[in-house]
């Protein structure tokens, strides 16, 4: 590993996923290292619950860093992916004891992302370094008018791909020579789940809650479905409570129609003339486009640009289909893939450089 340049900042970022742990090292804007450690499902099962996987995943990171000669003493900060903590405004947050408590709460430990902040703090504290999370999935900036669902018992909430949406919006704004806080953007993250957000002056004022059944269907998620028919299915006796949840998130969407959530496979079928695959791809793109149109309305029709991002945005077949529906609404720009390690590091870099103040979680 190269010696750190004087005056530069070196940041390690950690992003645990369900079956892998991604981490990377940045020196200012330069990526020095990115690695994905893929975990054997049996080993994770032996660890037990997601919180019980912490030590195993941390050991994997430390062994990988040691193998390439990374000196932890060269770090200036450690960033971890934010988990399912309580709703908070966008920003870079110092990981404190209150956050660690909430990351250990049952509602947070259903997803491996909660380990990001926990591991980051455990690595940083002995080194006397600060640790942070950046724009977790629970970023909540929605306007009051957007929160009503039509049922007083159910409020619309904000759980979305905040880290990537915010990072791509900031990148686009920078490329245009304009502060993100002065932009009006619609950002569509296209991945295993799909979220479409209306960004107005630095806030996501409305967004579909794609994890639990709003908006377009996606590779693994049903999106919004007709409510009465869903109720009938719930009480049909055919499915358990957990099975119905899986129909919404995990086994819905493309998976339910085609038996696979692998978009690469579906695109292959489409190219080979599979009419069903073609219809389902076109329908998903149509539903994404309708959601983009809804977010244009949320911005009163005043939109600087529509940004398409996420893993599925690597497919021109898909992005071109969406462009066909929405390009008359605003200029469309594609940022394929999702580099969450870069997004974490760039957020922390803003704090270290003093252009953004770290927020306190309480």
What pLDDT score does 63 carry? 93
Same domain, 299 and 350: no
Residue 2 has pLDDT above 90, yes or no: no
**213 or 115: which leads in pLDDT:** 115
What pLDDT score does 356 carry? 95
Residue 167 lies in a domain: yes
Residue 5 has pLDDT above 90, yes or no: no
Q: Name the residue range of residue 322's domain.
A: 162-336
Residue owning tokens 């742990």: 21
Residue 2 lies in a domain: no
Residue 156 lies in a domain: no
When pLDDT is averaged across residues 160-186 and rounded to a whole number, the result is 96
What pLDDT score does 284 carry? 98
What pLDDT score does 42 carry? 87
CA 245/CA 256 separation, integer angstroms: 13
What pLDDT score does 329 carry? 98
Same domain, 117 and 74: yes
CATH number at residue 266: 3.30.420.40
Residue 1 lies in a domain: no
Dihedral of the alpha carbons of 284, 286, 290, 296, in degrees to the nearest 10: 100
Residue 152 lies in a domain: no
Quote the mean pLDDT of the chain. 94
Cα–Cα separations (whole angstroms), residue 148 to 36, 145, 155, 157, 297: 40, 7, 6, 9, 17
Same domain, 76 and 177: no
Same domain, 125 and 204: no
Longest dimension (CA), the chain: 67
Same domain, 83 and 228: no
When pLDDT is averaged across residues 85-99 and rounded to a whole number, the result is 96
Residue 107 has pLDDT above 90, yes or no: no
What pLDDT score does 45 carry? 85
Same domain, 198 and 267: yes
The DSSP code sequence of 301-348 is T--SEEEEEEGGGG-HHHHHHHHHHHTTTS-EEEEEB--HHHHHHHHH
Number of separate domains in the chain: 2
For CA atoms 193, 288, 284, 224, the dihedral sign is: positive
Same domain, 195 and 305: yes
What pLDDT score does 92 carry? 97
Same domain, 87 and 177: no
When pLDDT is averaged across residues 319-333 and rounded to a whole number, the result is 98
Same domain, 66 and 213: no
**In this prediction, what percent of the chain has a pLDDT beyond 90?**
85
Tell how strand 184-190 and strand 305-310 pair up: parallel
Helix ranges restricted to H, 8-85: 41-47, 54-67
Same domain, 15 and 56: yes
Residue 298 lies in a domain: yes
Same domain, 200 and 329: yes
- pLDDT confidence tier of residue 212, bands split at 50, 70 and 90: confident
Residue 148 lies in a domain: no
- pLDDT confidence tier of residue 23, bands split at 50, 70 and 90: very high
CA 269/CA 77 separation, integer angstroms: 45
Same domain, 292 and 348: no
When pLDDT is averaged across residues 114-141 and rounded to a whole number, the result is 96
Residue 271 lies in a domain: yes
Prediction pTM value = 0.91
């Amino acid at each position: 590993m190269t010696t750190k340049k004087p005056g530069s900042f070196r940041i390690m970022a950690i992003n645990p996923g369900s079956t892998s742990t991604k981490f990377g090292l940045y020196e200012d804007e330069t990526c020095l290292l990115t690695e994905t450690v893929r975990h054997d499902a049996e080993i994770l099962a032996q660890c037990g619950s997601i919180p019980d996987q912490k030590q195993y995943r941390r050991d994997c990171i430390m062994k990988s860093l040691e193998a390439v000669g990374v000196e932890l003493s060269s770090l200036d900060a450690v960033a971890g992916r934010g988990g399912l903590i309580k709703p908070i405004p966008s920003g870079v947050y110092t990981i404190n004891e209150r956050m660690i408590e909430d990351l250990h709460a049952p509602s947070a430990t259903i997803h491996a992302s909660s380990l990001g902040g926990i591991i980051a703090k455990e690595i940083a504290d002995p080194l006397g370094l600060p640790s942070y999370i950046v724009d977790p999935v629970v970023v909540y900036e929605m306007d009051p008018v957007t929160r009503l669902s039509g049922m007083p018992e159910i409020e619309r909430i904000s759980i979305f791909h905040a880290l990537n949406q915010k990072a791509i919006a900031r990148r686009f704004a920078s490329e245009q020579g304009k502060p993100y806080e002065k932009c009006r953007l619609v950002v569509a993250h296209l991945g295993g789940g799909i979220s479409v957000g209306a960004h107005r002056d630095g806030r996501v004022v409305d967004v579909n809650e794609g994890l639990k059944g709003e908006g377009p269907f996606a590779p693994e998620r049903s999106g919004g479905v007709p409510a009465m028919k869903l109720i009938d299915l719930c009480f049909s006796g055919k499915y358990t409570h957990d099975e119905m949840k899986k129909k919404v998130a995990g086994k819905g969407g493309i998976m339910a129609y085609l038996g696979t959530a692998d978009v690469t496979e579906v695109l292959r079928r489409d190219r080979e003339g599979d009419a069903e695959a073609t219809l389902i791809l076109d329908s998903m793109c149509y539903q994404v486009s309708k959601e983009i149109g809804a977010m244009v309305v949320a911005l009163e029709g005043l939109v600087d640009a529509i940004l398409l991002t996420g893993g599925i945005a690597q497919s021109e077949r898909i992005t071109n289909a969406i462009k066909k529906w929405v390009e008359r609404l605003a200029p469309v720009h594609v940022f394929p893939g999702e580099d969450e390690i870069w997004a974490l590091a760039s957020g922390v870099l803003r704090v270290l450089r003093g252009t953004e103040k770290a927020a306190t979680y309480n």
